[in-house]
Amino acid sequence: MSRAGPARLRTLDDLGQLAGKRALVRCDFNVPLEGGRITDDLRIRATIPTLIELLGHGADLVLCSHLGRPKGTRDPRFSLAPVSARLSELLDRDVTQCGGVVGREARFCSGRLRPGDLMLLENLRFDPREEANDPGFAEELASLAEVYVDDAFGAAHRAHASVVGVAQLLPSAAGRLMQKEIEALSRLRDDAEKPFVAILGGAKVSDKLAAIDALIERVDALLIGGAMAFSFLASTGGQVGKSLVEPDRYDDIRAAVGKAEAMEVLIQLPEDVVASPKASLDAKRETVRADAIPRDSMGLDIGPRTVEEFARTIADAKTIFWNGPMGVFELEPFSAGTRGVATAVSSASGYSVVGGGDSLAALKKFDLLDGVDHLSTGGGASLEFLEGRTLPGVEVLMEAP
């Protein structure tokens, strides 16, 4: 008796004839805004191939996304109007901005679409039913189209109406970005070529303990920078001054380090750091041992010796995953560590994946985006996927074996 194969992700190739059909496309347009201006359009650009393919097949598109955290109320600061304007520029065609999310206005806007037309609904999170995965809200969204395409991997770990509910009501498939994300991260999770090196940074170790625990079972080396490194150093008695630490996580950290030692996984922590009394452009700073930071200072970047050691490990890797900056890279005096790691990752010969908004922002700042094999638009979703968790937005798009 033959056994059923593994579940398979439904893609655009499974939707059949699309000419004359209307597709509801869940995008991740959660882009940073300053004064109503988009400061980084990477997430918008990332979904363009899916939109162009659907339009090329003769479909008309109803796009939807969340932006920020308006907490279920209409907040003009989180309007998607700047996104529709930028989309119009990138696609060189009009993208109608609908003033509503669902209801009469949304039905009116979608009813005027013709093959090759696009419209963007207003911020999904203006309606509190979105995050509650309300069936009625999902039905209203589904009524605007005949097929559903999810291209928002960054929201795949959320069981929201536009992610899960609609996919259960319409013929559904993953867009090309979602497909690409899952293929790249599956390679890391299930079939990474050795040596596999993961680099984790960012502020809080509590946000990444689950990822650290899961990665220890997969990687050969784990490089830890950013403020989260100071909890590691302090957990064994290191003097870290005023650096951000989470004492309630010290036992978990020691357990993770013990697990890594038992599995012969190398954990590299900073040897030196750039320390300063405050994070400012004009603050006095000095490079000191990572475990001997002066009492009135805090570590704000990894030091040159650490960059050198991290870069050496990265250069030897066949597979690389990076999530989280090495310091306060937004301020030039504390950017060298993140720049050094970004340079090492982008110039490495191994297969590289970078995820998380800050890491991608750093690559862009240092003009190193082109050196990375895959830029993951899903920070939290990427980590949860690598942890082996079931993502609701992915599970609903899987074809049962």
Instruction: Tell me the catalytic residues.
Output: 43, 204, 357, 380
103: region left, alpha or beta (phi > 0 left; psi from -120 to 50 alpha): left
For residue 252 the two structure tokens come to: 């978990």
235 SS3 class: helix
Report the alpha-carbon distance of residue 133 to residue 255 in Å, rounded.
37
Report the alpha-carbon distance of residue 195 to residue 255 in Å, rounded.
23
β-strand pairing of 351-355 with 319-323: parallel
Q: Are 202 and 212 in contact (CB under 8 A)?
A: no
Contacts of 160 (CB under 8 A, 6+ apart): 66, 124, 130, 131, 133
Contacts of 49 (CB under 8 A, 6+ apart): 176, 177
Contacts of 256 (CB under 8 A, 6+ apart): 209, 212, 213, 216
Residue 393 class from Cβ within 10 Å (0-12 exposed, 13-18 middle, 19+ buried)? Answer: buried
Report the alpha-carbon distance of residue 221 to residue 343 in Å, rounded.
18
Report the alpha-carbon distance of residue 109 to residue 91 in Å, rounded.
19
Could you tell me where the DSSP H helices lie in 120-175? 135-142
Q: Which of 193, 223, 231 is nearest to 341 (CA)?
A: 223
Q: Residues 388, 393, 180, 31: what is their CA dihedral angle, to the nearest 10 degrees?
A: -110
Report the alpha-carbon distance of residue 117 to residue 58 in Å, rounded.
9
Furthest CA-CA distance within the chain: 72
